Structure 1
C-alpha cells in the first residue's frame, strides 16, 4: 500500500507540539534511543465489542511486533494511549517512545508480585522492548500453532499472558512430511536443506566432509548422508508448497486452539498481527498503512490459505468495494461523467430548438443563393452582344460568365451549398467557392 503513505500528512517535529499532560511519567532519557524521537505511528479509532477504542497502525508496512502486542492490550482494555495521542491535520498519531512506555508500564504492573530472580527476567525483557519496533527473531516449530523455540524476547508473551501463534503446521496425515518436520524448527530444517544441496554435488566428498566436520566414522557419515538425501526433497517440497507459511492443517489448528473471543499475536511471513476469534471465525486487525484512511476497514478474515482477502467492519460485517473510501474516490470520475452525459429535459428541448433554427437558416440561405443566381443570370444577359462585334477580350469575358453561371446553376440543382468564398469575375458579387473537391478536403483535414 507507497503512494497512499505519501499522501498522508507527516507529523510535525517534536518541538512544534506542546506535550499533553500524562498520567504517567515519561521514560528516562537513558532509555531512549536517538532515532526513537522521530518514530511515530498513526492511531485509528473504532469500536470493539461495544467499546470505543483506539488502536495503532503502522507508519510503514513492516513486522513491528510491538504494535501487535500493544493492540492486544488496547483491545483487552488493559492499557490506554489516550494521554499520548497527538494531532496533526486532524490525524491522530503517537510517538514510538510512548508505545514502549505503555507496554513497559503494563509489564511492570502485571508482574509486580515477582521475586528478585523473576524480576531480573522481567528487566531483561523490558530492555528488549525498543528492539521490538523493528522485529523479533522467532523460530517456529512445525508440530503446533503455539510452538516456538524459546528466547528471552519471546518471554514477553508469557509475562503479558498473551499467546503467540502461527499457522505453519505440518499435516499429521502426511506421514513422510510429519516424520521429518514434526518437532523440528525452521532453523533446523534450513540447515538440513543446505546439507542436502551440498550432498547433491558429490556424495563421496560429502561423506568425507561430514567425517571431518562432525568427527564421525565413515559408516556414521555415510548413514548421515543417506538420511540427508532422503529428508532433503521432503523439506524442499514442504517449503515450496507452503511458501505462504500457512497450511490447511495450521488453519484448522488455529480454529481449534484459539478460544472464543481470545486475542493473540499471529506470526506469518515475518509479520506480526493481532488475531481475534469471534463467533467461530478468525480475524486479523487491519493495521497496514494503506487502511489508515479507510474508516470501515477494521478486520481481515483469515479463512483461506491463499487468495483474496475479505475485509470487515468493526461489527464484523463484510465489506464490499463500494463501502471503502478508495472505491468511492475511484468511482467519482465515472459517476461525474455519467451525470454529465445524461440528457436533461431542458437541455433536450434546447437542442431541438437549436436544430429547428439551423434548418430554417439553411432554407433561408438557399433562397438567398437562388435569388443571387437569378440576379447574376440577368446581368449576364445584359452584357450579351453580337459576338462578331466583340473584341477578343470581351468575347472571352462573356464566355467565362456563361461557364460560371452554368456551373453555379448545376450545383444549385444538385443541392450543393457553398461554404467557402473566392473572387469572382469583376461583374459578379463575391461568392462561395464551389470547387473544393473531396481530395482538397482530405488534404485540409490532414493538415489540421
Structure 2
C-alpha cells in the first residue's frame, strides 16, 4: 500500500512534454495571426484522459474566445470566470514550456484541481468536491468507461463522464452498431462454417444481433452476457441452451468484425450530434483523444505523440474520414494537407521522417494489440459446441472480477 508521500513522489517523477502549436481556421500563412496554444504530449503511454481533457479544454477555450470576439458575442459572468481560469492555466503552461518544455504530474494535477474548483463553483450542481479531487489522479492512471454501443455516449453517472461534464466537455465515441444496415461485408463470409442442419436460422441473422444489442446496450452489459454461462429461458419457461450459445456467438462476431471501435454509423452520429467548430474528447481503441469538427463530415484528431515535440514539425492534425483510415491525411495547424512526409522536415533532418513513420507504425500496432486484448476476455476459453444445460456456479462477484473494463492502459 502506497502512502500519500510516495504517491506524491511518484507524481513528481512523471513528466509530460509540452508543445506550442500554431493553428488557425483561416488558412493563414502569417504566424502572427495564428493562435498559439500549449498542448501536452504523450510518451510511452497512450493518449490518456488527462492529456485529452487538458488539450481539449485549452483548444475549446481558444476557439470560444475567437468566435465570441469575431461575432461580438457577450458572455455571462459564469462563462467569463471559467474562461479566465482556463487562460491563466494556459499562461502557466506557456511559462512552464519556456522554463523546461515539460511539466510533472504533481504540478499538473495541482493546477487542474484549482481549475476544477472554479468549474464546481460555477456549475450549479452539487458535487462532492473532495471525491472529485481525490479522483483526479485517475485521469493519468486510467479511467474505466462503459460505452453505449447504441448511442455513442457513455454511462452517465460514472466518474469519467462526471469529470468531463464538469469541465463542460463532451465525451463521445464512434463504436455504434448500425440498426438498419449491416456495414460488415464479412458478416456472411463464414456462414458455411457457422451453420449446421440443426442450428437455428438466426445464427447469422443480423436483425437478431441488433435485437440483442438493444437489450444489452453497453459494453459492460455485453461482457456480462458473454461471461454468463447460464442458458436463456423462453417465454414458455423452457430452457434453451443452444439459443443462448448462438446468441453469444452473434454478439462476439460483431465485436470481432469491429475491433477498431469505430463504425460508419458512428461517424455519422458524430456529425449529427456535434456542432461546427466544436472540440470534444473522443474515445477509440481504448485511448482518449481531442477531436475537432471543422465542418460537415470533416473531423480532425489532435496528434499528441512525443515524436512531434520538434519545433520544426508542422504536423498537428490527422483527419478522421473513414473507418479503415485509408483516406486519413496529416494536416498543418492551418488544416492544409501534408501529402508528402518530407514536406514537414527541415533540410538537415534525415532521420525524423523515418522515426516518425516508425512511431506511427508502432502506434497502429499498439492499437491493434489493445483491441485484441479487449477481445481476450471473451475469446478465451471458447465455448463448447454443446454447452451444459445446468447453470454456472460462479457467483456474480466472481464474474465482476473477471470483467475487464475499458480504459486507458498504462504500460
- Tell me which interval the TM-score lies in, with the shorter structure as reference length: 0.5 to 0.7
> Residues 141-152 of structure 1: matches in 2 within 5 Å?
141-148=148-155, 150-152=157-159
Deviations for 1:82-128, whole angstroms, at most 9, x for unmatched residues?
3354469x96111212222232222211221467x8142x3322210
Secondary structure of the residue aligned to 2:22 is strand
Aligned to 1:181: 213
> Aligned pair 1:37/2:12, yes or no?
yes
CA contact (8 A) 1:40 1:93 kept: yes
CA distance in 1, matches of 2:351, 2:52: 33
CA distance in 2, matches of 1:169, 1:102: 36
Aligned to 2:357: none
- Count, aligned residues: 285
Post-superposition offset of 1:188: 1.5
224, 245, 262: which one aligns with 1:191: 224
CA distance in 2, matches of 1:55, 1:242: 31
Cα 1:233/1:282, change in 2 over 3 Å = same
CA distance in 1, matches of 2:342, 2:332: 13
Greater Cα offset, 37-46 or 105-114: 105-114
Deviations for 1:123-182, whole angstroms, at most 9, x for unmatched residues?
322210012112110011111122435313320111111100000000021433321113
Deviations for 1:348-394, whole angstroms, at most 9, x for unmatched residues?
xxxxxxxxxxxxxxxxxxxxxxxxxxxxxxxxxxxxxxxxxxxxxxx
More relative contact order, 1 or 2 (CA 8 Å, 6+ apart): 2
RMSD, matched Cα: 3.1
Secondary structure of the residue aligned to 2:103 is strand
CA contact (8 A) 2:276 2:293 kept: yes
CA distance in 1, matches of 2:234, 2:179: 34
Post-superposition offset of 1:327: 9.5
CA contact (8 A) 1:32 1:97 kept: no
> Residues 21-36 of structure 1: matches in 2 within 5 Å?
33-36=8-11
Aligned to 2:49: 65
Secondary structure of the residue aligned to 2:16 is strand
Aligned to 1:107: 116
CA contact (8 A) 1:301 1:312 kept: yes
CA distance in 2, matches of 1:327, 1:148: 49
Post-superposition offset of 1:272: 0.3
CA contact (8 A) 1:146 1:163 kept: no
> Aligned pair 1:317/2:326, yes or no?
no
Cα 1:54/1:332, change in 2 over 3 Å = closer
Post-superposition offset of 1:298: 0.6
CA contact (8 A) 2:19 2:40 kept: yes
Greater share of helix? 1
Aligned to 1:276: 292
CA contact (8 A) 1:263 1:274 kept: yes
Secondary structure of the residue aligned to 1:33 is helix
Cα 1:171/1:292, change in 2 over 3 Å = same
Cα 1:292/1:61, change in 2 over 3 Å = farther
Question: Which has more radius of gyration?
Answer: 1
Gaps spanning 5+ residues in structure 2: where?
A: 25-33, 62-82, 182-206, 354-411
Post-superposition offset of 1:221: 6.7
Secondary structure of the residue aligned to 1:278 is strand
Runs ≥4 residues deviating over 4 A: 29-32, 216-221
CA distance in 2, matches of 1:146, 1:123: 26
245, 252, 263: which one aligns with 2:261: 245
> Residues 7-156 of structure 1: matches in 2 within 5 Å?
33-49=8-24, 50-77=34-61, 78=83, 79=86, 80-84=89-93, 85-86=95-96, 92-113=101-122, 118-120=126-128, 122-148=129-155, 150-156=157-163
CA distance in 2, matches of 1:69, 1:239: 28
Cα 1:123/1:235, change in 2 over 3 Å = same
Deviations for 1:11-60, whole angstroms, at most 9, x for unmatched residues?
xxxxxxxxxxxxxxxxxx87962200101111111124432111111122
Secondary structure of the residue aligned to 1:283 is strand
Secondary structure of the residue aligned to 1:107 is helix
CA contact (8 A) 1:167 1:268 kept: yes
Post-superposition offset of 1:229: 2.6
CA contact (8 A) 1:261 1:277 kept: yes
CA contact (8 A) 2:123 2:166 kept: no
Aligned to 2:171: 164
Post-superposition offset of 1:245: 0.4
CA contact (8 A) 1:265 1:273 kept: yes
TM-score by structure 2 length? 0.62
Deviations for 1:55-90, whole angstroms, at most 9, x for unmatched residues?
1111223242011001111112342343354469x9
CA distance in 2, matches of 1:75, 1:229: 48
